[in-house]
Structure 1
Amino acid sequence: MACLPIEAQDAVEVLLKKSPVRQLEEHVTSLSNYLWSRKRPPEDRDLREKAIELEKKFTENKHFQSDINIYQKEQKLKNDVLNSLRKNIYHWQPLSYTAQIGLVYLAARFDGGFAAVSRVLHEIYQRVPGFSPQTLMDFGSGIGSVLWAAHGIWGNNLKEYMCIDSSASMNTLSELILRGGSEQGEMHISGVHFRQFLPVSPKVQFDLVVSAYSLNELPNFAERERIIQTLWRKTGGFLVLIENGTREGHQLLMEARDIVLKGGDKEVWDHRPAFVFAPCPHQLECPKLAESSQIPCNFVQRYQPLKFSWKPSVRWEKFSYIIFSRGPVGESDRHWPRVVGPVLCRPRHVHCNTCCSDGKLHHHVITAKKHGKDLYRCARICEWGDRLPAITSNLGPDKTVCDEKECS
């Protein structure tokens, strides 16, 4: 179970005690719901296509076959199309993180964001023990969840943290947390630098580049493409992208996946190719996108939330993520299937939904008799998001219905 370092928890308590924000619980709930349901801004091309579709629909309506003059008809058509667009198109607005909103965000998202980032970074730490990053760049760093999580894993091996956030208030708040909630306090983590603008020069790379819950704050696809290409350009080892575990968050990551894997960046200095390190055990298109239901590829992490009277003792963070590596890494086990849903343990058998190296989703019923005791034990203790130490062919054919006698 993930838990914020005690130093971070103490700093949050100090900051919120002297906070001017009233009715904090209501503000936290409102902001959390808004961020979870947030969608990408509509593209101008999509708006034009929708407008043409509506115009055709209204023109064919008998309502427009009346004898009013042409000018009045055009004006009415224009007004009806605009009103329909306003009602049916998502109205995206940029978020402005003032000092007060930053404190609400701190109470709402610090613990859950830290939990997700810790879980994702542990994937690298466990699978590539020889990777010991010295430099980290965090785009959209906000209140510093990434640097706290990275420091908790690699400790003093990390010498430099470049934290980039366009909000000066968030940068100030992040530094206050590092100082224990006081401007005069000592920095708990050294080597941290704050910037409001993303450096675009490809000459300086970072061992680890992370962007957590930030892609949806960019105003259009062109800007997302530019930022993602810049982040990959700055990546020396791994690029980590994390978003909400919603359909929207998953689609943002799949968009980023295409941008990185297909290339197209004219300013290439590092010619090592991009590989999907996790969560996919393959380099093919995400099979979740091919499903008619379009259920997102997401994962969960249990964590201990900040100590507020309205929060339970344990919560779960649902998130989607993707990790890119410079060149293939962890070749010996990179084809292990990934568990992409809750694991159901039943008497003498285990149900696992997996994404496998063939680029397809599978449902397996694992038993000690058919698959061996070792794999059976692994399946019983594995969790949503873990990998099964097996090759797809060794798991046998899919089985979607368990034997009634075994289930009884």
Structure 2
Amino acid sequence: MLSLRIRFQQLRALSSVARTAHQIDNSSEFLSQAPHRKHPGILRLNMACLPTEAQDAVQVLLQKNNVRHLEEHVLSLNNYLWSRKRPPEDRQLREKAMELENKFRENTNFKSADLNIYQKEEKLKNDVLNTLRKNTYHWQPLSYTDQLGLVYLAARFDGGFAAVSRALQEIYQRVPDFNPQTLMDFGSGVGSVSWAAHGIWGNKLKEYMCIDSSSSMNDLSELVLRGGSDKGEMHISGIHFRQFLPVSPKVQFDLVVSAYSLNELPNFAEREKIIQTLWRKTGGFLVLVENGTREGYQLLMEARDIVLKASDKEVWDHRPAYVFAPCPHQLECPKLAGRSPLPCNFMQKYQPLRFSWNPSVGWEKFSYMIFSRGPVGDNDSQWPRVIGPVLCRPRHVHCKMCCSDGKLHHDIITAKRHGKDLYRCARNSEWGDRLPAMISSSCPDKTQFDEKESSS
């Protein structure tokens, strides 16, 4: 009871300083064209559903191959992929080894007179290596065989499709004049990106370049496109498969996507090289999607620094990089400022594949980053992003947002203080949407919320 009272006092304190936090931005006069429940900051998909042709192809392939204990394999693979971390860097291992060596040298057992110098050094070396083995994450590359590819198809096809669809939908909605004709998908896997992009832009997309190092995955992706049969017609035309990333920057693609692939690279140097190559190949938008975990978020922040700092020496397209989404600014991510950075992630509702063990509705938690060649949009690019659940209460709304000033805000929006239009837009917004508002220059710093509260 005491904790609830303290919590209520904190919320009242926040409400007292959020009086002039935001004002409605109706510069495009959207309020005269659409109701508040359909304001242009709403980006969510009600339900992401794989096309019927794709779902039927999955059923045909799994029935034909009859993978034993499929449910157990799906659960195991999902848990492994969700908990997977980045491979440790050699520099980090050396630093850790030095710390352990200094620690063991101070140990009384090491100073024992019963051991000569050689024995002491050997014991020290063994102690350091054994401790490193026990406490270091053992990253292993995933080799997708025919069977593992089928398990991945059953485990991740629907969720991956949902996350990518949500990211691409934002481009489609915010930049209606963008009509890509070419797409490159790095780490294409079972083809989620191609299905998602085709569902949004349809036949406007003429060419798909799908790149995956596993020939088994490329074959499986093509089989899904053919309805599960070698002799079937391709549901999407213009798709080409390759095992290696073309490095020449002379040919660009309107849309470049990498979904759930950065953690498959063995070290930072390789990730930096790949990200730079992907950016060189980008003519319009570069879309990166990863798990909505701390690891996935940090992979995207790493990519953000690589692209924005423009450290690539081989530059053919001199148009600068801009963060199109989800950040409403080009500044450092405020979520990195806390002692223990929390991931900036989002949720997308989707219809799972038709398996007995799947629920009727699934939720994909993901993180994403979209870069554009040059600035895109006008004032609406500064609209704050809702980065947590919106809490609708009687006559007020709690919104946790990342704003154009590069700070996190917890605003309590009311009709009396902020106007009826902004209040109604806030009540109809959800996690991941943008609020059609401009931040006030006089907005006090006290509206920032700390990382502990953002996790509650």
Query: Shorter-chain-normalised TM-score: which range?
Result: over 0.9
Determine the C-alpha separation between the residues in 1 that align with 2:447 and 2:85: 36
How do 1:129-208 and structure 2 match up within 5 A?
A: 129-208=176-255
Q: Is the 8 A contact 1:134 1:207 kept in 2?
A: yes
Shift of the alpha carbon at 1:395? 10
1:334 alignment counterpart: 381
Shift of the alpha carbon at 1:159? 0.1
- Stretch deviating more after TM superposition (313-322 or 390-399): 390-399
Q: What SS does the corresponding residue of 1:280 show, helix, strand or coil?
A: coil
Q: Is the 8 A contact 2:61 2:228 kept in 1?
A: yes
Q: Is the 8 A contact 1:341 1:384 kept in 2?
A: yes
Shift of the alpha carbon at 1:331? 2.1
- Stretch deviating more after TM superposition (305-314 or 190-199): 305-314
Asked if 1:93 is matched to 2:140, the reply is yes
- Stretch deviating more after TM superposition (376-385 or 319-328): 376-385
Shift of the alpha carbon at 1:332? 2.4
1:60-106 Cα deviation digits (max 9, x unpaired):
11111101101111111000000000011110000000010000000
Determine the C-alpha separation between the residues in 2 that align with 1:311 and 1:370: 45
1:28-59 Cα deviation digits (max 9, x unpaired):
00000000000000011111000000000001
Distance 1:131 1:206, change over 3 A: same
Shift of the alpha carbon at 1:356? 0.2
Distance 1:207 1:324, change over 3 A: same
Asked if 1:47 is matched to 2:131, the reply is no
1:236-285 Cα deviation digits (max 9, x unpaired):
00000010000000000000011001112121110000000000000000
Match of 2:103 among 37, 57, 64: 57
Determine the C-alpha separation between the residues in 1 that align with 2:234 and 2:129: 53
Shift of the alpha carbon at 1:306? 0.5
Asked if 1:352 is matched to 2:399, the reply is yes
2:126 alignment counterpart: 79
The amino acid across from 1:53 in the alignment is: E
The amino acid across from 2:330 in the alignment is: Q
Asked if 1:306 is matched to 2:353, the reply is yes
Determine the C-alpha separation between the residues in 2 that align with 1:30 and 1:389: 42
Q: What TM-score, normalized to structure 1?
A: 0.97
Query: What is the root-mean-square deviation in Å for CA atoms of aligned residues?
Result: 1.3
Q: Is the 8 A contact 2:407 2:448 kept in 1?
A: no
Q: What TM-score, normalized to structure 2?
A: 0.86
How do 1:1-400 and structure 2 match up within 5 A?
A: 1-67=47-113, 68-393=115-440, 397=444
The amino acid across from 2:48 in the alignment is: A
Q: What SS does the corresponding residue of 1:147 show, helix, strand or coil?
A: helix
1:325-377 Cα deviation digits (max 9, x unpaired):
00000122100000001111111111110000000000011111211222111
| Identity level (%) | 82
Determine the C-alpha separation between the residues in 1 that align with 2:147 and 2:420: 55
Question: Could you list the runs of 5+ residues in structure 2 that have no partner in the other structure?
Answer: 1-46, 450-456
Shift of the alpha carbon at 1:176? 0.3
Shift of the alpha carbon at 1:293? 3.2
1:120-140 Cα deviation digits (max 9, x unpaired):
001100110000000000000
For these two proteins, the number of residue pairs brought into alignment is: 401
Q: Is the 8 A contact 2:223 2:230 kept in 1?
A: yes
Determine the C-alpha separation between the residues in 2 that align with 1:84 and 1:202: 45
Determine the C-alpha separation between the residues in 2 that align with 1:161 and 1:355: 34
Determine the C-alpha separation between the residues in 2 that align with 1:288 and 1:59: 38
1:405 alignment counterpart: none
Question: Could you list the runs of 5+ residues in structure 1 that have no partner in the other structure?
Answer: 402-408
Determine the C-alpha separation between the residues in 1 that align with 2:60 and 2:171: 33
Shift of the alpha carbon at 1:399? 5.5
1:199-218 Cα deviation digits (max 9, x unpaired):
00000000000000000000
Q: Is the 8 A contact 1:364 1:395 kept in 2?
A: no
Distance 1:193 1:400, change over 3 A: closer
Shift of the alpha carbon at 1:153? 0.3
Determine the C-alpha separation between the residues in 2 that align with 1:101 and 1:304: 23
1:370-404 Cα deviation digits (max 9, x unpaired):
11222111111111110000012189556689xxx
The amino acid across from 2:160 in the alignment is: G
Distance 1:400 1:286, change over 3 A: closer
Q: Is the 8 A contact 2:169 2:200 kept in 1?
A: yes
Q: What SS does the corresponding residue of 1:334 show, helix, strand or coil?
A: helix
